Structure 1
Amino acid sequence: MSKLNGNERWKTKMLMTEHVEQYEQKDKEEGDSGKMLTTLERTMVRDLILLPYIDTMVSKSMQEVDRSGNMLTRTYLMAGRYIQNRVMQDTYRLQRELKQRNIKVLEDEQEDFLLYYKILFRGYQERFGLTRDVMRTEISLRLTRYTSELGAVLREQLK
């Protein structure tokens, strides 16, 4: 809250345009950050929800590869471990960042094709839902990103 709010005397005083804009900008930032989740925070919550699913999928895939008797089993397992390591790093980073922002994510309920989570933030509560289709798409995009990171690391090692 700026010093100008609630003080009627300031309405009659001359202020430079930059100062008025500065106070209005501060009011907008203070008002928005306290009541609503930002887009970045929603993305962080979504990613925190999806990362355990990615870890489970990679673990199952690694178990299948291990049982297959493929010649490249060790290579596939190393790639899977790399991706799992990146998933864990991202999970810890997101948990730490959300904790600093005083945001908690709790699993709420599951309907047919929707998973609901409660988001507790700055004294407020919000319900966050994800459809299975959105989850599949986001997981696929995230796995593609992790795989391309692994490819970049391997290319760098071969140079």
Structure 2
Amino acid sequence: MTKLDGNNRWQNKMLLTDHVEQYEQQRQEEDSGSKMLTTLERTMVRDLILLPYIDTMVDKSIKEIEQSGNVLSKMYLMTGRYIQNQVMKDTYQLQKELKQRNVRFIADEQDDFISYYKIFYRGYQERFGLTRDVMRSEISLRLTKYTTELGTILKEASLK
């Protein structure tokens, strides 16, 4: 904030359009280079934390299916592998996007019901916690999303 921002005396003065554009551009850059972590970045960090859990759960299910003598085991295995592939793609995309935004995180500590992480972003640090209930519900939502995507792909393939 400059000295002139709160001073109404300067609002009615004539300014060259170049100066107005430069001032507005500078203000936009200050706003876009915000020191706070955005909601989108928090969501991306949360998703990047949860994706390895999803991969582990799906991998465990795949191993159980391989051991079973289920008639539909091949279909379940293909579904599991599709989900693992999507998880890997999403993980790669999130890592790439967070790296561009200069955001990284590490595991901090884990209580009985809350996992804490330290998020480092643009020279700042923040503590981020996820409860088990939130993790379970988000994992469930994400798995539902992946299976819905697969169902849509299969429906489109059957219509062709």
Q: TM-score, normalised by structure 2?
A: 0.85
Moved over 6 A (4+): none
State the match for 1:6 in structure 2: 3
Q: In 2, are the aligned partners of 1:106 and 1:118 still within 8 Å (CA)? A: yes
Q: Which runs of 5+ in 1 are unaligned?
A: none
C-alpha offsets along residues 33-55 of structure 1, whole Å, 9 cap, x if unaligned?
A: 43111110000000000000000
Note the 1:147-158 alignment, pairs <5 A.
147-158=147-158
State the match for 2:94 in structure 1: 94
Following TM superposition, by how much is the alpha carbon of 1:28 offset from its aligned partner in structure 2, in angstroms? 6.9
Percent identity among equivalent residues? 63
Following TM superposition, by how much is the alpha carbon of 1:105 offset from its aligned partner in structure 2, in angstroms? 1.2
RMSD: 2.6
Q: Which amino acid letter does the alignment assign opposite residue 6 of structure 1? A: K
Following TM superposition, by how much is the alpha carbon of 1:14 offset from its aligned partner in structure 2, in angstroms? 1.8
Following TM superposition, by how much is the alpha carbon of 1:12 offset from its aligned partner in structure 2, in angstroms? 2.5
Q: Which amino acid letter does the alignment assign opposite residue 72 of structure 2? A: L
For 2:13 and 2:109, locate their aligned partners in 1 and report how far apart those are by CA, in whole Å. 53
State the match for 2:82 in structure 1: 82
Which region of structure 1 is more displaced relative to structure 2, 79-88 or 7-16?
7-16
For 2:13 and 2:154, locate their aligned partners in 1 and report how far apart those are by CA, in whole Å. 59
Q: CA, structure 1 residues 50+12, in 2 after alignment: closer, same or farther (shift >3 Å)? A: same
Q: Which runs of 5+ in 2 are unaligned?
A: 15-19
Q: TM-score, normalised by structure 1?
A: 0.86
Note the 1:3-152 alignment, pairs <5 A.
5-7=2-4, 11-14=9-12, 23=24, 27=27, 30-31=30-31, 33-152=33-152
Q: In 1, are the aligned partners of 2:4 and 2:10 still within 8 Å (CA)? A: no
Q: CA, structure 1 residues 70+132, in 2 after alignment: closer, same or farther (shift >3 Å)? A: same
1:35 aligns to what SS in structure 2?
Answer: coil
For 1:89 and 1:148, locate their aligned partners in 2 and report how far apart those are by CA, in whole Å. 17
For 1:56 and 1:134, locate their aligned partners in 2 and report how far apart those are by CA, in whole Å. 18
Q: Which amino acid letter does the alignment assign opposite residue 54 of structure 2? A: I
